[in-house]
Amino acid sequence: MNPRGGAAVARLDELGAIEAGAVLCLRLWCAGPDTPERRAFEAEAGDHGGRAALAAIGGLCDMMRAYGRRPLMRHDIACGCVGGDEACLARIVEAATAGDRDDAMLMATLLVRADLACGFVAFAEQAGVALARLAVTPATPAPSRLH
């Protein structure tokens, strides 16, 4: 039996860039600042919106930890599945980024108290903007080798 919010509802590769980025940032934030995966993410994507996305997701995590309806369930960093709570958070970030604030606030009430939904969506918008910027940033090409 899966704990509430932990049941797999999707696969990471089925999500759009912003939603997948939100799930990955959630997992990286919850894993802690000293994990090799988080350090690698910050080194590679930090200047292109990665740090801003992590900070905004961190704000969401802090709100969920303090005012959440129940503990947030998440999967391991490398897991290809997306849990129910992760999918809900990803959808909130995507809706907030698309300007669908009313939908985002309604979904936010599934995770936090209703009186905090507006602030929660503000963090989600920040995360979404940073993730959108990151999604359009070209990957750093490997340096050319002459020999």
Q: What pLDDT is stored for residue 135 in this prediction?
A: 81
Going by C-alpha positions, the residue among 28, 73, 34, 82 that lies closest to residue 55 is: 28
Domain boundaries, the chain: 8-135
| Low pLDDT (below 70) residues in the chain | 1-2, 137-147
* Side chain identity at residue 38, one-letter code: R
Q: What pLDDT is stored for residue 38 in this prediction?
A: 86
Q: What pLDDT is stored for residue 23 in this prediction?
A: 96
Q: What pLDDT is stored for residue 142 in this prediction?
A: 56
- Residue in the block written with tokens 């600042």: 33
Q: What pLDDT is stored for residue 143 in this prediction?
A: 62
Q: What pLDDT is stored for residue 31 in this prediction?
A: 92
Model confidence, pTM: 0.87
Going by C-alpha positions, the residue among 103, 100, 92 that lies closest to residue 131 is: 92
